Amino acid sequence: MPIDEDVTGEELDKDVKQELKSLPKTLAEDVARNLVMVARLLDEDPERAYAYAKVALRLASRVPSVREAAGFAAYAVEKYAEALAEFRAARRMTGLQHLWPVMADCERGLGRPEKALAMAGEPEVRQLDKVGQVEMRLVAAGARRDMGQADAAVVTLQSPELASTSVQPWTARLRYAYADALLEVGREDEAREWFAKALEADQSGVTDASDRLAELDGVEFIDALDGDEDGDDQADAEGTAGGSAGGSGRSGEGQASEG
């Protein structure tokens, strides 16, 4: 597959580059450039990212970072069994536990929320850093909801991290998940409060908290361009009769997805 001309492989994290030093120089460079493409495309074009990950995997399947990248690429295109296999391989190679939460989320994706919930109680969770522990809590709450235990999901998300007023990388997503769980159990006023808190912490736009707030407030979004086009079509249709018509905009409430 063609690789962007500006990609050299030097963009990789130093720890990944260190792993690639076990490979012959030319091969290491090829793998590095493919891994950069995976990282560059993972959010905007996951299918292409997955294709680059498969190339890197074919070239260097014994490198832990390659297996991890392949796992995230498969996860992004919802190939959960494949992702789980790659994450397990990477974990075996390194002995590290940082992939534990996403492995549990793969179990959810495979329709096994009970397994994901069991993983949330395993000793590996104690070895996670704060980010990993919050991710594990989010996965566990999602598993509770998958199992129809909405009230338990609300309780699962209640934590010191949720109560903290300091803004951390996980704050917006944690608050959003809590708001969404509250809404599911009918606590709409509290849900609105927590969507607002999520929006306040969401400097990078990782959630659609603003849309959810607007939806709760009954705000409708009008597409002005579509309105002009509708108006032009109606004017054309009535023009022969000497009439004129204003644009009639098409409106609808914003859609939301679970964070």
- Model confidence pLDDT, tens digit, residues 121-147: 999 999 999 999 999 999 999 999 999
Q: What confidence tier does 255 reach under pLDDT thresholds 50, 70, 90?
A: very low
- How would you class 86 by CB atoms within 10 Å of its CB: exposed for 0-12, middle for 13-18, buried for 19 or more? buried
Q: What is the pTM of this model?
A: 0.81
User: Which region holds residue 78: left if phi is over 0, alpha if psi is between -120 and 50, else beta?
Assistant: left
3-state secondary structure of 59: helix
2: its two tokens? 């063609």
Matching residue, tokens 């890197």: 56
Amino acid in the structure at residue 7: V
Check residue 130 and give its pLDDT: 95
108-112 — which CB contacts under 8 Å span 24+ positions? 108/139, 108/142, 108/143, 108/146, 109/75, 109/78, 109/80, 109/83, 110/80, 110/81, 110/84
